[in-house]
Amino acid sequence: MTSRFFRALAILAATVPALTAFADEGMWLINKLPSKELKQQYNFEPTATWTEHVQKSCVRIGAGGSGSFVSPDGLVMTNHHVASDAIQDLSSEQHDYMVDGFYAPTHEAELKCPHMELTVLQEIQEITDRVNAAVKSGMSAADAFAARKKAMSEIEKEARERSGLQPEVVTLYNGARYDLYLYKRYTDVRLVFAPEAGIAFFGGDLDNFEYPRFNLDVTFLRAYENDKPAKVEHYLKWSKAGPKEGELIFVAGHPGRTQRLFTVDHLRFLRDVQLPLTLSCYNQREIALNQFMGRSEEYGRIGKEDLLGIQNSRKAFGGIINGLLNPRLMNRKMEAEAALREFVQADPKRREKYAAGWDKLSKALAEVQSFYTEYFMLESRRTSLGRYHDLARKLIRAADEKRKPDGERLTEYRDANLPSLELDLFSEAPVYDALEQLRLEDGLIRLGRHLGGEHEAVVAAMGGMDAGSRAASLIGGTKLKDVAFRKKLYEGGTAAIAECNDPMIQFAQALNPMARALRDKYEKVFESVEKEAYAMIANAKFEKDGDRVYPDATFTLRLAVGTVAGYRDGSETIPAMTDMAGLYARAAQHKEREPYNLPKRWADGRNKLDLKMPFNFISTNDIIGGNSGSPMFNRDGEVTGLVFDGNLHGLIWDFQFDMEKARAVGVHSQAIIEALRKLYGAGKLADEITKG
């Protein structure tokens, strides 16, 4: 799921004008909105009530998506592709809800999603001073990093005890600010409605990041409390009119990660080291998955969710590299950096405080490069060896970490994060051994290809066998499929792990020390320096640009301000909205060959629909991966759309906002209602939403 939320820099047309429009730039903190600009440009002044209402209507989903409450009974709107992990998990060879869609006409028919978690932001506290107070003068970057981590853990612990809410210390401006966020958590989440993947993702990988589009990329979930639909005070009402071209429109959601503050050297590292390596692994997996899925219909079904995620990331990361390879774009970054450094050099005080930031970072980048491949292969979540190994490693590390004081643990094993960990560890979501074989076998081959056959980790991983046999013997022998077995190991701690003879646990045990050491080294050599350096650079930027500075995305709640607007591409004008007639035209143009084949309900239901009904539309809101599923709404807080993508031009937003051709892409609010009522027989759900 998570991989579908990254957006990247696109191949740009040959003529990019030098001017950058700042008008709609900004992923604004909900507690620090750009009031002056909003007033000047849109004559809009958000009240405290408006802001609180938006904040508490918005939902963060799992590890990478957004959503919103749209009824008082806990109904949540998000994207199909945000919920598709769950839809896939709820499917089986008998009921493939990915292919056929799903609708529960009653609460009783709603299906509980395995290990899905919703969180709603309740409260924000600034804690920069307290975090920084933990750092004593003369500390090394690594010691300062550890000291801050310890302080954050204490702050979280206190907050949890005080409020009963889920605490999270958020590092903003890459370390120049720290805030404490407190969330309400929902862990009983049920599936209410999902369309067929064929219409949610019509045009598939080929049309992904393209526009015009025709996707009903929507899913409705429901939050439950005490086995009953959650009663929520804050939810967004539905707009009767839908979005209008030229109209002010808001997006509130959880952009995952941007790199707008990144130095030129850091962007080079991305372009020349990190992303090529990532893509090389993803390409290998995409091809292996395609082979796997071709072997039978059932394999096609169980591999699909992995494939969608991989393809999405491949297109996005590929776009980022291509953008970074475009000399004109890098030149703009270089100019901006030179201007900021000149500003710093121009004043002795600023020079003393900030000048070292860039060089520190460049040095750390050079150092991390020497072991980055190993780190990436053995410790990144992007190079998982499959579900069983993930479980095994988490069980081993949980046992190790839980013995330490909270402040010294790896972040994901801090007390504040154990509920999420346990939700994952004990999930009943199905595990398909055939798919696990593919993931592990391909993962072993990936290790070998990138580290070389003689690398200590490869020798340990292969265990004297070829990759296929090794994977088969580990998967055939492990008992980790059994949730009770996992619970026993989790509760048994280090003693249970030490005496466990499960082959997957032993396999994970063999790799874990190397991976852990690389994690430590990475944090020491790079992450701690990165924090320190960017705090300097961000503070220099504050001094230079003042309030125009917003923090890079951190998968926390942000508000983006924009306009519903088409654009010109060369001699072509791309209109702001598509309509339902366009869907049928595009399918016909491709003779309905996959991925342009319409689900039966849509092919048969054409005459039931108002073909002039708008379907998808674009706007200038500043979004990025993680914003998928974000509500789009008007100044009255009424839903007019649902973000599901950015266009190819918008991929550059990862490190530079530009609104010449870059756009957010949304599903029109009325298209959702039209489809629910006329094709899905889901009038009851449409009523709940529109009467909400």
Q: To the nearest whole angstrom, how small is the minimum distance from the Cβ of residue 279 to a second copy?
A: 7
Contact between 385 and a second copy by CB under 8 A: the answer reads no
| Cα Rg of the chain (Å, integer) | 25
Query: Looking at beta carbons only, is 281 or 396 nearer to a second copy?
Result: 281
Contact between 595 and a second copy by CB under 8 A: the answer reads yes
Interstrand relation of 631-633 and 638-646 (parallel, antiparallel or unpaired): antiparallel
Using CB under 8 A, which of 246, 419, 453, 683 touches a second copy? 453
One character per residue 263-282, x = contact with a second copy (rule: CB under 8 A): -----x--xx--xx--xx--
Show the CA angle centred on residue 677, arms to residues 644 and 616, nearest 5°: 25
As beta bridge partners, residue 665 has: 618, 645
Q: Output the CA–CA distances (angstroms, integers) from residue 19 to 22, 40, 264, 658, 660, in the order listed.
A: 9, 21, 19, 9, 9
Size of the site for a second copy (CB under 8 A): 55
Neighbours of 493 (CB within 10 A): 15
Using CB under 8 A, which of 467, 518, 565, 587 touches a second copy? 467
Place of tokens 């398909």: 432
Question: Which one-letter amino acid corresponds to residue 34?
Answer: P
**Dihedral sign of CA atoms 60, 566, 240, 38 in order:** positive
> How far is the C-alpha of 337 from the C-alpha of 340, rounded, in Å?
5
Contact between 459 and a second copy by CB under 8 A: the answer reads yes
Residues 6+ apart with CB under 8 A from 362: 263, 265
Of 145-153, 430-438, 541-549, 589-597, the window that binds a second copy (rule: CB under 8 A) is: 589-597
Q: Are 313 and 7 in contact (CB under 8 A)?
A: no
Q: Are 564 and 245 in contact (CB under 8 A)?
A: yes
Contact between 683 and a second copy by CB under 8 A: the answer reads no
Q: To the nearest whole angstrom, how small is the minimum distance from the Cβ of residue 271 to a second copy?
A: 5
Contact between 17 and a second copy by CB under 8 A: the answer reads no
Contact between 284 and a second copy by CB under 8 A: the answer reads yes
Using CB under 8 A, which of 35, 92, 140, 283 touches a second copy? 283
Q: Is 294 helix (H, G, I), strand (E, B) or coil?
A: coil
DSSP string, 153-205: HHHHHHHHHHH-SEEEEEEEGGGTEEEEEEEEEE-EEEEEEE--HHHHTTTHH
Using CB under 8 A, which of 452, 513, 681, 683 touches a second copy? 452
Query: Looking at beta carbons only, is 276 or 681 nearer to a second copy?
Result: 276
Contact between 291 and a second copy by CB under 8 A: the answer reads yes
Q: To the nearest whole angstrom, how small is the minimum distance from the Cβ of residue 362 to a second copy?
A: 14
Q: To the nearest whole angstrom, how small is the minimum distance from the Cβ of residue 275 to a second copy?
A: 8
Contact between 469 and a second copy by CB under 8 A: the answer reads yes
Contact between 205 and a second copy by CB under 8 A: the answer reads yes
Using CB under 8 A, which of 107, 328, 404, 608 touches a second copy? 328
Contact between 465 and a second copy by CB under 8 A: the answer reads yes
Contact between 445 and a second copy by CB under 8 A: the answer reads yes
Using CB under 8 A, which of 25, 179, 286, 688 touches a second copy? 286
Q: Using omega within 30 degrees of 0 as the cis cutoff, is the peptide bond preceding 34 cis?
A: no
Residues 6+ apart with CB under 8 A from 679: 601, 602, 605, 608, 609
Show the CA angle centred on residue 337, arms to residues 334 and 341, nearest 5°: 135
Q: Are 626 and 253 in contact (CB under 8 A)?
A: yes
One character per residue 228-267, x = contact with a second copy (rule: CB under 8 A): ----------------------------------------
Contact between 585 and a second copy by CB under 8 A: the answer reads no
Q: To the nearest whole angstrom, how small is the minimum distance from the Cβ of residue 640 to a second copy?
A: 32
Contact between 294 and a second copy by CB under 8 A: the answer reads yes
DSSP string, 313-326: HHHHHHHHHHHHT-
Contact between 216 and a second copy by CB under 8 A: the answer reads no
Contact between 381 and a second copy by CB under 8 A: the answer reads no
Q: To the nearest whole angstrom, how small is the minimum distance from the Cβ of residue 325 to a second copy?
A: 4
Using CB under 8 A, which of 1, 12, 147, 686 touches a second copy? 12
> How far is the C-alpha of 360 from the C-alpha of 256, rounded, in Å?
26
Q: Are 49 and 611 in contact (CB under 8 A)?
A: no
Q: Is 58 helix (H, G, I), strand (E, B) or coil?
A: strand
Of 116-124, 217-225, 317-325, 509-517, the window that binds a second copy (rule: CB under 8 A) is: 317-325
Q: Are 243 and 640 in contact (CB under 8 A)?
A: yes
Q: Torsions phi, psi of 341, nearest 5?
A: -65, -35
> How far is the C-alpha of 83 from the C-alpha of 64, rounded, in Å?
10
Query: Looking at beta carbons only, is 136 or 591 nearer to a second copy?
Result: 591
Query: Looking at beta carbons only, is 321 or 685 nearer to a second copy?
Result: 321
> How far is the C-alpha of 385 from the C-alpha of 401, rounded, in Å?
21
Using CB under 8 A, which of 349, 381, 591, 612 touches a second copy? 591
Q: Torsions phi, psi of 32, nearest 5?
A: -150, 65
Q: To the nearest whole angstrom, how small is the minimum distance from the Cβ of residue 335 to a second copy?
A: 15
Contact between 210 and a second copy by CB under 8 A: the answer reads no
Contact between 324 and a second copy by CB under 8 A: the answer reads yes
Neighbours of 347 (CB within 10 A): 12
Footprint of a second copy (CB under 8 A): 11-14, 205-206, 268, 271-272, 275-276, 279-280, 283-284, 286-287, 291, 294-297, 314, 318, 321-328, 330, 444-445, 448-450, 452-454, 458-459, 462, 464-469, 472-473, 590-591, 595
